[in-house]
A and B are shown apart, each in its own frame.
Chain A
Amino acid sequence: MSAEPLLSVRSLSVDFSTYGRVSHVLRDVSLDVPARRHVALVGESGCGKSVTMKAIMGILAQPPARIVGGEIRFDGRDLLQVRGGEWDAWRGTAMSMVFQDPMTSLNPVFTIGDQMETILKYADRRLGRRRDRRGRLDRVYEVLAQVRMPDPERIAKSYPIMLSGGMRQRVLIAMALLTEPRLLIADEPGTALDVTTQAQILKLLRDLVEERGLALLMITHNLGLVREAADFVYVMYAGAVVERGPAVEIFARPSHPYTRALFDCVPKLSGETTFKGIDGSLPDYGAPPPGCRFAPRCPLAVAMCNRSPDERPVGPNHSAACWRLEEAVA
């Protein structure tokens, strides 16, 4: 057996050039997503989660983006080195994505069945598989049933507008499952939905990971969702991973000052009504702070923070990139 996880991102760095100005948006991002695991990438809006996700899916618009370094290893192969056509074959087949907003991610003027069948048609073509429309539609019904949709044939004939938000989210999951991917990337799963529906969607994702042996990477800013659905967590700040660890560990012992601040932002149901925000805002990606990118906002920052911090272990499988860990945890 191979020790390498299904998806392994190594030191990924991405720049953006806009109007002649270069922004260093991702810096040395590394993360692993093994099969049968729920991995969450957490951070506030603008921290680079979506860029990471798009880079992995290969849908980063280049230009303005440019991948300046690192590897995206999928099943032991570096996707950044393979020829364009091969990545195209992977995209939407071996790895697939569950889109965030069920209201806007489906084309309003085509039926669900038509949209799904089209995805399958081009996936088949890339994989050199032969199947007629009838066969593809059968697969569409099959997948719609897998996401617990009653009456798949009726759903397939529906337009998005005829379905509720929860049903559309299921359709989006079904779309991602069509080609039997091994890696599923979910962008803010269920956040556009009400809490009950969201819980159902998370349960569905969990079941699917179990049943089909998928690897799941969730991108979210919602800590509640992370606590509920993830086994392993990466915390991202300003384009860099600042802390990584098993979900239980991170929630028990948040170590990086940013993670701690983030957790303080969550209003707690139990008693405590006040919560601290984080002063300041994300740094300018054009001229980021030289060392730790959180330093300008960090209450514990000292001169040493002008150098890039090493990742230092905090517990089993749990590490954080901070010079002042001891003080932070204390």
Chain B
Amino acid sequence: MEFLYFLIRRLLWSLLVLFGLSIVIFVIARVMPGDPARLALGPRASQEQVDDLKANMGLDKPLVEQYQHFIVGLSRGDLGLSFLTKRPVNDDIAETFAATLELVLATISIAFLLGIPLGVVAAAKKDGGADNLVRFGAILGAVTPSFLLALLLQVLAGYELHVLPTTGRLSPDFPFHPDITGLVTIDALLKGNPAALIDGLKHLLLPSLALSAATVGQIARITRSSMIDVAKQDYIEAGRAFGIPDHVRIFKYMLRPAFVPPMTILGLEFASLLGNAFVVELVFAWPGMASYGVRSILQKDLNAVMGVVMISGLFFVVANLVIDVLVGFVDPRVRIQGGQG
């Protein structure tokens, strides 16, 4: 019951965050100097053309009215028309979002699958060689520019060793369409198409590795310090006195409470993860939201840019809600006391 209240409260805060975000985006798009219609049409368009587009897009109305229009559209899930393609921004983003989602999910999986064991090993061998290696690796992961790592992986694994494809989500002309969830790997599993699954995974591996470096390091570091912290707790010693075997104490009694800080960190890191995804997508020509976003930015397509920022924020908020729920399942203290937020 308490958990339900907690979730409802988090949900309301999330809505508030999204509302605030919409104002920020609106301010960027409409209040800052620069005329969106003029930007979209370029300097050589006639004033009449610009005025036409303005009227079409409702840009001649007062700002408050424009914002009303914007927020009403948003609440209906309508991000407006692209200045350029004249298609709804929704459709454009929907086509690209699944690819970004797949990349981000793969990255998070790698981050946990690698980061947690590394952190556990480092904590177990505190101040030993393995520990120092993990700690230095974590710093190295955090400070390597993601585009540099992406380029490096692309060159090494793709051009030099010829083991993995370097661009796209599927090999050219591969007869497969992810039309269930939009995620190639998931859809391949659902349709029972192992060839597509393998091809999809091969394409996914390098981008998600490049994107996960920083997060793996963070998760390993946090896991390490929280394992060390938990190991000092009385209940771990108590388990020993009650004759509970080491493997149960480490993998059940220690890991579960130690699991909460890495989850929380992931929530905070999610924004920068998403930001880096933009760069990594470009390097690997991954047909995701980022490629779309950068293209619309270069072409000054404001509605599309606003849509991309808004969806990024929404993605962040939803990811954090999911993390809250998971943390609540892992840690009853959050469930019962409602956490600290």
* Chain A positions near chain B (C-beta within 8 angstroms): 57, 59, 88-89, 91-93, 96-97, 99-101, 104-110, 118-119, 122-123, 126, 159, 161-162, 175
* Contact assessment for B234 and A108 in the assembled complex, using a CB-CB cutoff below 8 Å: no
B245 interfacial by beta-carbon distance below 8 Å: yes
* Contact assessment for A92 and B336 in the assembled complex, using a CB-CB cutoff below 8 Å: no
Given contacts A59-B241, A126-B243, contact A104 B234 (CB under 8 A): yes
Shortest distance between the CB of B64 and any CB in chain A (Å): 48
Contact residue among A92, A101, A105, A110 (Cβ-Cβ distance under 8 Å from B243) = A92
* Contact assessment for B244 and A88 in the assembled complex, using a CB-CB cutoff below 8 Å: no
Chain B CB within 10 A, most for which of A97, A104, A107, A108: A107
* Contact assessment for B257 and A91 in the assembled complex, using a CB-CB cutoff below 8 Å: no
Q: In the complex, which residues of chain A have a beta carbon less than 8 angstroms from the beta carbon of B235? A: 104-108
**Chain B 219-249 near chain A by CB (<8 Å), digits 1 or 0:** 0000000000000011101111111110010
B333 interfacial by beta-carbon distance below 8 Å: yes
B253 interfacial by beta-carbon distance below 8 Å: yes
Q: In the complex, which residues of chain A have a beta carbon less than 8 angstroms from the beta carbon of B339? A: none
Given contacts A99-B234, A104-B235, A119-B243, contact A109 B330 (CB under 8 A): yes
* Contact assessment for B333 and A59 in the assembled complex, using a CB-CB cutoff below 8 Å: no
Q: Residue of A at shortest CB range from B237?
A: A59
Taken together as a complex, chains A and B put the C-alpha atoms of A123 and B244 apart, in Å, by 8
Taken together as a complex, chains A and B put the C-alpha atoms of A232 and B208 apart, in Å, by 67
Q: In the complex, which residues of chain A have a beta carbon less than 8 angstroms from the beta carbon of B245? A: 122
Q: In the complex, which residues of chain A have a beta carbon less than 8 angstroms from the beta carbon of B330? A: 109
* Contact assessment for B248 and A91 in the assembled complex, using a CB-CB cutoff below 8 Å: no
**Chain B 253-266 near chain A by CB (<8 Å), digits 1 or 0:** 10011000000000
Contact residue among A108, A110, A175 (Cβ-Cβ distance under 8 Å from B242) = A175
Taken together as a complex, chains A and B put the C-alpha atoms of A118 and B248 apart, in Å, by 9
Q: Which 5 A-B pairs have the closest CB atoms?
A: A92-B243, A159-B332, A92-B242, A104-B234, A105-B234
* Contact assessment for A91 and B243 in the assembled complex, using a CB-CB cutoff below 8 Å: yes
Given contacts A92-B242, A109-B331, A122-B243, contact A162 B234 (CB under 8 A): no
* Contact assessment for A107 and B253 in the assembled complex, using a CB-CB cutoff below 8 Å: yes
Query: Can you list 11 A-B pairs with a CB-CB distance of less than 8 A?
Result: A57-B241, A97-B238, A108-B332, A108-B333, A109-B256, A109-B333, A118-B248, A118-B252, A122-B242, A122-B244, A161-B337
Q: Residue of A at shortest CB range from B332?
A: A159
Taken together as a complex, chains A and B put the C-alpha atoms of A95 and B138 apart, in Å, by 44
Shortest distance between the CB of A285 and any CB in chain B (Å): 22
Q: In the complex, which residues of chain A have a beta carbon less than 8 angstroms from the beta carbon of B244? A: 92, 118-119, 122
Q: Residue of A at shortest CB range from B259?
A: A109
Given contacts A104-B233, A107-B257, A118-B244, contact A161 B332 (CB under 8 A): yes
* Contact assessment for A108 and B331 in the assembled complex, using a CB-CB cutoff below 8 Å: yes
Q: Residue of B at shortest CB range from A125?
A: B245
Given contacts A104-B234, A109-B330, A159-B336, contact A119 B257 (CB under 8 A): no
Taken together as a complex, chains A and B put the C-alpha atoms of A139 and B20 apart, in Å, by 55
Taken together as a complex, chains A and B put the C-alpha atoms of A155 and B337 apart, in Å, by 18
* Further pairs besides A99-B241, A104-B235, A107-B257: 13, Cβ < 8 Å: A92-B243, A96-B241, A99-B234, A100-B234, A105-B234, A107-B235, A108-B332, A109-B332, A110-B253, A118-B248, A122-B242, A161-B333, A175-B238
Shortest distance between the CB of A189 and any CB in chain B (Å): 14
Q: Residue of B at shortest CB range from A159?
A: B332
Taken together as a complex, chains A and B put the C-alpha atoms of A275 and B232 apart, in Å, by 36
Taken together as a complex, chains A and B put the C-alpha atoms of A220 and B234 apart, in Å, by 17
Taken together as a complex, chains A and B put the C-alpha atoms of A96 and B244 apart, in Å, by 12
Q: In the complex, which residues of chain B have a beta carbon less than 8 angstroms from the beta carbon of A93? A: 243
Q: Residue of A at shortest CB range from B253?
A: A107
* Contact assessment for A123 and B336 in the assembled complex, using a CB-CB cutoff below 8 Å: no
Chain B CB within 10 A, most for which of A93, A105, A106: A105
Taken together as a complex, chains A and B put the C-alpha atoms of A107 and B235 apart, in Å, by 6
Q: In the complex, which residues of chain B have a beta carbon less than 8 angstroms from the beta carbon of A100? A: 234
Taken together as a complex, chains A and B put the C-alpha atoms of A126 and B242 apart, in Å, by 12
* Contact assessment for A105 and B238 in the assembled complex, using a CB-CB cutoff below 8 Å: yes
* Contact assessment for B240 and A59 in the assembled complex, using a CB-CB cutoff below 8 Å: yes
Taken together as a complex, chains A and B put the C-alpha atoms of A161 and B253 apart, in Å, by 16
Given contacts A91-B243, A159-B332, contact A99 B238 (CB under 8 A): yes
Q: Residue of A at shortest CB range from B230?
A: A107
Shortest distance between the CB of B131 and any CB in chain A (Å): 18
Given contacts A107-B257, A109-B256, contact A122 B248 (CB under 8 A): yes
Q: In the complex, which residues of chain B have a beta carbon less than 8 angstroms from the beta carbon of A96? A: 241-242
**Chain B 299-341 near chain A by CB (<8 Å), digits 1 or 0:** 0000000000000000000000000000000111100110000
